[in-house]
Amino acid sequence: MMSELALKVTGLAKHFGGIKAVDDIDFEVKKGEFVGLIGPNGCGKSTTFNTISGLLEKTSGEAEVFGNSTDGLAPHEIHSLGLTRTFQHTRLWKEMTVIENLIIPPRNQLGDNPLTAILHTLRPEHEKARLAKAWKILETLEITHIAHLLAGELSGGQSKLVDIGRALMGEPDLLLLDEPVAGVAGPLADSIFEHLRKLVNETGITILIIEHNMNFILRKGVDRVIVMNEGKVLMSGTPDEVRASEEVVKAYLGGDGEDHTLPEDDIESTPTLRMRNKRPFSMNRGIAGIALLLLSMFIPNLGWISTHGLLTGSSDFLDTFGAHIFDASMGDLWAGLHMVFLLLFALSQPIILYSLLRNSWRKTSLDDDAENLLLMSGLLIISGILLWLFNDTTSNELPFGAMMTMAAGAVMYLDYPPSKGGEEE
């Protein structure tokens, strides 16, 4: 007979000396349910997870996972019943990339047996399957773009997502998450919740999630909420029922409707990720940039004409170019530099054009682009000024052409430097 319950906790208690951290609690979580476990700091939520997952020995009581007693089982044995838990403080390998953090199995799960370890090295397709699975999980959590970042570079919110991803690698049937959104900026916290909701709906996984901010979790579409206070279960019900309950309102809100117990806001600014941030890039920006570029191209002997001449070998650009090679061979250093800058100027235009087209097509731009274009435009200004100083007959209108081309480049990094926050999209 298959149990209808993913988790059944009966008379569970955990005492630390005189402290009754968990004090005789009962609750159940049905298969496929998304349940919140909430309560003020120190009320025993993490200790409940620690005793269920076998990390701490329980003082008394019973926890059943899919109908199996966990009595006397070690954490990895409870894990093999289908239960995976995450910790309040994420533990990632900081000097490894995100994808590596996912594909390397946690201790006590795989590779314990030297024979299986050897078999796995003999079977690279197993590795490939694991990589494909990791990638799929990153897709589900919408974080493929950070796959190759080092875990140590991630923001708090990103680390939490990677930690959840790692928990999903073992394909758990029951997932216990300990405050996966604590310290995560609001919009990302919302999106983590939406991903979890989607996961429950689509895969039938059961999730029990700890969150200490009641106001937050009651808005986030969990099926049911279990409320703890001082080691006891205060009540369990739908978010609406919990919100309506006087007992809970008293425990949390001190009876007068004011929020005394909860921190006002658990949102802390996440560190800014340098480079690789994606930001929206509109078609209008692309068109504006290209228009500016086109404008610069119609200036005689400059821009497009130079570029075009360079590519086809058909304009006086090459003559000028050739003349300067001749000058340089006469030992004229300035003429040699002049040639270099003319070349640079001619090359910058197709590069900027390419970036504008690509970003318009993808509708996103990257900080890398902004940095590169910043550099490109800087060189363009210098080459423009120098060419103008050389007072070459081909470069009389160069400062204007340079300015136009630079303006096109500037369209690329209108909102550079990266806005604070550093989260993607």
Q: What residues make contact with ligand ADP under the rule CB under 6 A?
A: 16, 19, 21, 39, 41-47
Residue nearer to ligand ADP on the CB measure, 43 or 137: 43
Residue nearer to ligand ADP on the CB measure, 256 or 264: 264
Specify whether the CB–CB gap between 302 and 395 falls below 8 A.
yes
Task: Provide φ and ψ at 251, rounded to 5°.
Answer: -60, -40
Task: Provide φ and ψ at 8, rounded to 5°.
Answer: -135, 115
Q: Which amino acid is at 383?
A: S
Least distance (Å) between residue 17 CB and ligand ADP: 7
Q: Residue 203 binds what, of ligand ADP, Mg ion, none (CB under 5 to 8 Å, by partner type)?
A: none
Residues in the chain: 425
Least distance (Å) between residue 88 CB and Mg ion: 5
Residue nearer to Mg ion on the CB measure, 46 or 377: 46
| 3 state SS of 253 | helix
Strand partners, 280: 364
Scored b (16 or more CB within 10 A) or e, 139-177 reads ebbebebbbebbbebbbbbbbbbbbbbbbbbbebbbbbb
Query: Six-digit token pair at 150?
Result: 């080092």
Residue nearer to ligand ADP on the CB measure, 134 or 233: 233
Q: Residue 419 binds what, of ligand ADP, Mg ion, none (CB under 5 to 8 Å, by partner type)?
A: none
Q: Residue 21 binds what, of Mg ion, ligand ADP, none (CB under 5 to 8 Å, by partner type)?
A: ligand ADP
- Distance (Å, rounded) from C-alpha 122 to C-alpha 157? 37
- Please give the residue ranges that form the binding site for Mg ion (CB under 5 A): 45-46, 88
| 3 state SS of 15 | strand
Residue nearer to ligand ADP on the CB measure, 40 or 157: 40
Least distance (Å) between residue 9 CB and ligand ADP: 14
Residue nearer to Mg ion on the CB measure, 89 or 363: 89
Query: Six-digit token pair at 346?
Result: 């001619």
Least distance (Å) between residue 40 CB and ligand ADP: 7
Q: Residue 42 binds what, of Mg ion, ligand ADP, none (CB under 5 to 8 Å, by partner type)?
A: ligand ADP
Least distance (Å) between residue 47 CB and ligand ADP: 3
Least distance (Å) between residue 417 CB and ligand ADP: 38
Scored b (16 or more CB within 10 A) or e, 355-391 reads bbeebbeeebbbbebbebbbebbebbeebbebbbebe
Least distance (Å) between residue 31 CB and Mg ion: 25
CA trace torsion 26, 30, 33, 35 (10° rounding): 0
Least distance (Å) between residue 284 CB and ligand ADP: 49
Q: Based on the number of CB atoms within 10 Å of its own CB, is 314 exposed (0-12), middle (13-18) or buried (19 or more)? A: exposed
Q: Residue 160 binds what, of ligand ADP, Mg ion, none (CB under 5 to 8 Å, by partner type)?
A: none
Residue nearer to ligand ADP on the CB measure, 263 or 280: 263
Q: Residue 43 binds what, of Mg ion, ligand ADP, none (CB under 5 to 8 Å, by partner type)?
A: ligand ADP
Q: Residue 83 binds what, of ligand ADP, Mg ion, none (CB under 5 to 8 Å, by partner type)?
A: none
Residue nearer to Mg ion on the CB measure, 7 or 102: 7
